[in-house]
Every structure is written in structure tokens, then in C-alpha cells.
């Protein structure tokens, strides 16, 4: 019997720590259940659509967003604890800039055309959170492209144009019109929205329930 794939759409931003943590949780569940039915597609959602094109200093960004250094530290305390639980490394001290992610989202889109989308998302998360690299920088994106066996020269050339810029922004706007206002948001089979970084146990249950439904039908 051929098992039909079930679409799992993920709205995410590669500078969102909860998206990084949520992916780590999902990855664990998928690894524990290799016969899962999910067919994953990543969708753009910019946390900071009005960020200057060149990004800004991370300290300035955090203090402006949360109202000061102490407030920023308090806001990120749950992130630090959850990252430890998820087993992901985040170098908050090393991160000096908060980038505009529109080019990263364009890169994810092109990676999807080549069947490398999840690899691109994984590499972007690692570059930003673990290696503290500026993923708004064209050279960094080209280097990431090369690391996942995409043509870095093509990516560099495309990033020098407006190719797919409007399309990515339209997809972001579409998600907001659907009522999505935070990431990560997971949509199962175009029907059920699951917001936030959910633990592997929840995903294991979802996978089991979908398998049971498929068997029953």
C-alpha cells in the first residue's frame, strides 16, 4: 500500500530562536519515527519586516524591542532554558547583529526549487545561532549555499537582483492575512494550526494519530 504524504507547512524566520528550538524538537520526533508521512515546506514570515536592509546592532535591537538590557535578559531567559532542553547551541554573546532576513527567505525559496529547502533552513539556523554569523550578508548566504551543494555563484547573482523579492513578501503577507501573527506556526494537512515550539512528545502523538487515520481509511 502506498502511503500518501501529509503536508506540513512551517511558517518561520531564521533569526527566531523559538523556530530553531521548534525545529530541533520536530527533528527529534521525525528521527524517532522515520516512517512519518510529513512532506515539509517552509514559508517566509519576517519577525522584523521593517528592519533596515543592512540590519542593526543586536544590543540596540534587543534593548529597543524590550525596553532595556535587563528586560531583554528577562525576555530571553525562557529561550536559554528551552535551548538547553532541546539540545541546541545558541551563542548569544557572539551574535553582534540582527539582520534583515528577506534575502535569507529568498535563499530558502530557491533552495526549495532544488529540493534543498530543509537543508537550507538548518544551515541558516546553525550559521546564525551557533556560529553567530550575519545571515543578512550576501557572502555568508553564498557560503551557506556552497555548504549544501547549491551554486554559490548563482545565489550571489540572484541576490544582486530583485528576483522573487515581491513573491516572498506576498507569501509573508498571505500568512498574516490567514491570522498567523507569531512563529513558528505549523499547519498540518492545510487544516490544523499548531503554534509555538512543541515538544517531541506532541509530534510523536500527531504522527501516531495520522498513521492510525491513514490505516483506518
Cα separation, 165 vs 124, in Å, equals 18
- At residue 121, φ and ψ (nearest 5 deg) are -60, -45
Cα separation, 153 vs 7, in Å, equals 32
Question: pLDDT (tens digit, 9 = 90+) per residue, 117-158?
Answer: 999 999 999 999 999 999 999 999 999 999 999 999 999 999
CATH homologous superfamily for the domain 6-216: Glutaredoxin (3.40.30.10)
pTM greater than 0.85? yes
Q: Find the helix packing angle between 17-32 and 117-125, rounded to 10°.
A: 130
Question: pLDDT (tens digit, 9 = 90+) per residue, 68-112?
Answer: 889 988 999 999 999 999 999 999 999 999 999 999 999 999 999
Amino acid at each position: 500500500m502506498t502511503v500518501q504524504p501529509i503536508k506540513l507547512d512551517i511558517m518561520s524566520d531564521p533569526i527566531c530562536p523559538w523556530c530553531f528550538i521548534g525545529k530541533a524538537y520536530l527533528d527529534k520526533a521525525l528521527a524517532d519515527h522515520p516512517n512519518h508521512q510529513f512532506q515539509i515546506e517552509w514559508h517566509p514570515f519576517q519577525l522584523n519586516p521593517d528592519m533596515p536592509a543592512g540590519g542593526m546592532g543586536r544590543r540596540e535591537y534587543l534593548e529597543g524591542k524590550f525596553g532595556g538590557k535587563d528586560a531583554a535578559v528577562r525576555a530571553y531567559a525562557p529561550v536559554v532554558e528551552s535551548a538547553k532542553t532541546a539540545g541546541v547551541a545558541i551563542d548569544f554573546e557572539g551574535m553582534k547583529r540582527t539582520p534583515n532576513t528577506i534575502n535569507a527567505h529568498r535563499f530558502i525559496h530557491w533552495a526549495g526549487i532544488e529540493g534543498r529547502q530543509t537543508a537550507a533552513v538548518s544551515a541558516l539556523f546553525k550559521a546564525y545561532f551557533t556560529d553567530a554569523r550575519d545571515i543578512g550578508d550576501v557572502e555568508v548566504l553564498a557560503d551557506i549555499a556552497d555548504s549544501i551543494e547549491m551554486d554559490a555563484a548563482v545565489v550571489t547573482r540572484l541576490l544582486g537582483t530583485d528576483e522573487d523579492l515581491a513573491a516572498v513578501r506576498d507569501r509573508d503577507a498571505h500568512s498574516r492575512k490567514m491570522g498567523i501573527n507569531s512563529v513558528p506556526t505549523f499547519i498540518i494537512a492545510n487544516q490544523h494550526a499548531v503554534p509555538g515550539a512543541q515538544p517531541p512528545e506532541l509530534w510523536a502523538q500527531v504522527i501516531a494519530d495520522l498513521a492510525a487515520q491513514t490505516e483506518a481509511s
